[in-house]
Structure formats: structure tokens, C-alpha cells
Amino acid sequence: MNRNMLFGLMAAVFVGGFMLSNSFYVVDQNHEAIVLRFGKTVSVVNKVGTNDPGLKLKAPFIETVVQFDKRNQSLDAGQEEVIAADQYRLIVDGFIRYRIDDPLQYYRALGELDTTAHDRLGLIVNSSLRQVLGSASSSDIISGQRSVLMAKARDSVAAQAVQAQLGVSIIDLRIKRAELPDNNRVAVYRRMQTARQQDAAQIRGLGEQQKREIMADADKQVAITLATAHEEAETARGEGDAKRAALFAASFGKDPKFAAFYRSMQAYEASLGQGDTTMVLSPDSEFFKYFKQGAGK
């Protein structure tokens, strides 16, 4: 074999190997592929809903293959300043999860570069967040109604993606944080503190008013109870005095000596009951007769 034949054989082997290397491609099970011939779609391999990965054959040089990940993908939309319905400015950092459902539409609308797709989807996400969050108050965005607002924003992004024929389905949309800008945070916190102090003062004033009303009602009930008790006591005392007087009157009529004795005891009690009375009387005075003898003598 001469040198020319050797070079020819080597060239044929090289060209054959090059042709073979451009005739086969591999599709991973997590990817789907579009086969293009002069820029026009020929077929879609291993698309969503099918399971056809592996080694594939294509026409060398005239057909090219573009592959896309058919798993769920994430996109960080970046920070966006949103003005809430109560005019508070918030810094919102959102992200979405999406999946390529139609690789042909995706390729026609966004091409094969991930940066182009991410830029387009990021614009849609930020536009939807501004629209949805701009109609809600800052408190609802931060905590109160966040899940409801995120569902509305996700539906808005999904509708815009369908309208733009991007070939993707939006799985979820969330915001990682929603906070005030640094230059507004101190002023907003002061306003919130003032509002809370006003609420606290109002609650304390209401409590003080209720305390006074309760105390006034309690004092009224005490006065009524004491008056009722005094009235009942005086009534009972009057009834007792009346019974006592009736008993004494009956006793006086039956035994005059007992009546005289009782009157003397009352006189002793009135004059000597205090313990500091000084009296100058004759020892034979009738006043002291019951000190010398009993009532029956």
C-alpha cells in the first residue's frame, strides 16, 4: 500500500467517524429534544408524558438537536419595589416554579437560551406582583392574606404565559420576603408605635371608665344593703321594745313591788352605770333601800 492510498484510507476513516459522530445523539430521561432541519421542526423526542430516552439517530449536518429540561424548574424574579394600597413601599423578592409543557412553543417564543426565557418570565412575574400586591394593604402582604394574594398572582402569571404562548405551565409562585425600604422603615415603625400607644391609651381609658362604673354600682349596692339592714333592725328593735313594754305593763299591774324594784334598777343603771358618778345622800335615803333589802321585803 503506497502512501497516497494510506492517506486516502485515513481520510475515509476520519470522515466516516465524523459522519457517525454527527448522526447520533443521546436524550437523557429528564430531558426532551427538538430535532430541527434547516431551522424547521422535524420531531420532538421524549416529550412530557412519554418515556423515550436513549441513543437516537439524525441526519448529519442538516439536522440539529436542541434539548430542554422537562423537570420542574425554579426562577428567581429578583427584587421589585411595590406600592401597597395603603401607600407603603415594600421590597418584594419573588420566585416561581414552572415546567416546559410544549417545547415547540417554548423554542419559538423564547429560543434555546435560558437567560432569554428567564428574562421574559421575570418580567411577567414582576408585572403580576405589582398588579396584585398594589391592590392590597401592606399588613395583608406581609402576613394577613399572603397565601390568597400569591394564588391570585400565580393565576395571573399562568394566564399571561398562556396568552403569550410560552409553552410553560406555572406550578407555584411565592415571595421570599416583603419588607420596607431602609429609608422608610424607621418612620413606619414610629407611626406603628404611635398607633399602638393610642390604642393602648384608649383601652386603658375604657378600662378606667368601666372600673368607675363597677365601683359606683358596688357602692350603691352597699348603701342599699346597709339601709335595708338598718330598716329591718329598727323594725325588729321596735317590735321587741313593744313586746317588752307590753310584758312590763302586764307585770306592773300584777306585782307593784316588782314595778318599784324595776324602776329603782333603771335609776341605778342611769346614775351609776358610768362608774364615775359621785353622789352625796343620806344612808337612810329611799334611793338605796334595795341595797339593804331584796325586792320582796
Which tens digit of pLDDT belongs to each residue from 74-90? Answer: 888 878 888 888 777 78
CA–CA gap between residue 20 and residue 11 (Å, rounded): 14
State yes or no: pLDDT of 178 exceeds 70: yes
pLDDT at 291: 63
Determine the average pLDDT of the residues in 98-107: 88
* Cell digits of residue 146: 399572603
For the chain, percent of residues with pLDDT exceeding 90: 14
DSSP secondary structure of 189-223? HHHHHHHHHHHHHHHHHHHHHHHHHHHHHHHHHHH
* Cell digits of residue 21: 459522530
State yes or no: pLDDT of 214 exceeds 90: yes
State yes or no: pLDDT of 113 exceeds 80: no
Which CATH class, in words, describes the domain spanning 73-186? Answer: alpha beta
The domain locations on the chain are 15-69, 73-186, 252-292
Which tens digit of pLDDT belongs to each residue from 14-41? Answer: 656 666 667 888 888 888 888 888 878 8
pTM above 0.85, yes or no: no
Nearest to 90 by CA among 156, 183, 169: 183
**pLDDT classification of 295: cutoffs 50, 70, 90:** very low
Query: Which one-letter amino acid corresponds to residue 291?
Result: F
CA–CA gap between residue 69 and residue 103 (Å, rounded): 10
